[in-house]
Amino acid sequence: MSVVGLVVEYNPFHNGHLYHLRESIKKSNASVVIAVMSGHFLQRGEPAIVSKWTRTKMALYCGVDLVVELPYAFATQKAETFASGAVSILDALGCDYLCFGSELGDINPFISTNHFLEQSKAEYEDLIQHYVKTGVSYPKALTLAYKNLNGDKELLDLSLPNNILGFYYVRAILQQHSKIKPLTIKRTSAGYHDQQFRSPTIASATSIRKALFSENHPIQSYVPEVTLQFLQENKKNYHLHRWELYFHLLKYRIMTMTTEEIGSIYEVEEGLEHRIKRCIQSSSSFQEFMESLKTKRYTWTRLQRLCTHLLTNTTKEQMKCMNEGQTSPYIRLLGMSSEGQAYLSHIKKQLMLPLLSKVTSFDHPLLDLDIKAAHAYQMIYNEPIRTKRLKEEFSTPPIRVR
């Protein structure tokens, strides 16, 4: 039995994800597909457009066999930490392969670049610190250090977003001494950050979300039918989540905090708390706040993640236990197909991590963050919907799809 792992957000599940899923099965010859999926808040610091339960259903109906949650402490992090947490879960679940999408589509440069940078580690880290001190953002410093070190060598292009994630997946596999074999599939038609539709059937999740919120372009050509049904149902009965719906909550949090309290929040560094306090007072929308907060040193994504931690009141102290290990201490099961359930039964006794089907069965500081994030995610609703949705975190069993 061959098992392939995918690291996903499915925000929402679209035709590009379906292509990736099918090509991953084909490339690995896998009989079981496991997706480790971000929960209610995502790597770019955004609330997921629909809940993790709805996105789990999308994945299962489209062919994934097991969906497990990437804890908040990893899901809302820079690429290195995000990848490390995801790989640790897939490794614990016995995956033979991890298959990711990339702009390149060839796995060899990912491996050779990792080996090259490991051999040049001290010099690379010195260069990064040098560029950070010039005032550029950390991701920009990584790129500049890499180019400086790279010279004329034919290595991976680390200026491209999916190549960066893929690089860190491979690095995590090597550092964790995992038996997982990395594979990659070339992305087709749509770029990671594309805002517009450039193909008749494949579009980025960014452009699909933009169309959903503006309602100026139908999306049925770009998503499986089941995704469209779930999106329409959520739009009718609940909300399609986005930052603007949370802005009044974020503004209240910041306005009622002292600068010292803001400074204790995870990712608030170098006196940024004073700028946050100043910018929020004159901002009437999340977009306006972000535009006033943005600087050359801090990327939009980094600041969105910071805002997520402000919203959920996640402190540096609370993140300490995650920073010590870089690997997940548990596996939270969200859903499974019949094949996924059979696979779990087969490997359950071999699992080295606790497998959680409900949050009340386990106690850990990182799980507390997951629960707190789930509560924050539902705060845009009025009663009694809010209470009903809050209970989902404790009462929803793993979803089963035959």
Cα→Cα distances 297→29, 44, 134, 145, Å? 44, 17, 9, 16
pLDDT digits (tens, 9 = 90+) for 80-131: 999 999 999 999 999 999 999 998 889 999 998 898 888 888 888 888 888 8
The response to whether 45 counts as a known ligand-binding position is no
The response to whether 351 counts as a known ligand-binding position is no
Using 50, 70 and 90 to split pLDDT, how confident is the model at 325? low
Residue 218, class by beta-carbon neighbours within 10 Å (0-12 exposed, 13-18 middle, 19+ buried)?
exposed
Rounded Cα gap, residues 243 and 234, in angstroms: 17
The response to whether 402 counts as a known ligand-binding position is no
The response to whether 20 counts as a known ligand-binding position is yes
Instruction: Output the pTM of the full model.
Output: 0.92
Q: Return the domain boundaries, the chain.
A: 3-104+164-241+326-401, 109-159, 243-321
Of 101, 124, 112, whose CA–CA distance to 174 is shortest? 112
The response to whether 10 counts as a known ligand-binding position is yes
Q: What is the CATH number of domain 3-104+164-241+326-401?
A: 3.40.50.620
The response to whether 14 counts as a known ligand-binding position is yes
Using only C-alpha atoms, the chain has a radius of gyration, in whole angstroms, of: 21
Query: What pLDDT does residue 392 have?
Result: 84
The response to whether 215 counts as a known ligand-binding position is no
| Stretch 195-222: mean pLDDT | 82
The response to whether 12 counts as a known ligand-binding position is yes
| Stretch 15-30: mean pLDDT | 96
3-state secondary structure of 240: coil
The response to whether 19 counts as a known ligand-binding position is yes
Residues of the chain with pLDDT > 90, as a percent, come to 68
Asked whether the predicted pLDDT for residue 370 surpasses 60, the reply is yes
Query: Token pair 């038609």 is at which residue?
Result: 189
pLDDT digits (tens, 9 = 90+) for 255-290: 999 999 999 999 999 899 999 999 999 999 999 999
pLDDT digits (tens, 9 = 90+) for 247-256: 999 999 999 9
Beta strands 66-70; 32-38: pairing state: parallel
Query: What pLDDT does residue 154 have?
Result: 65
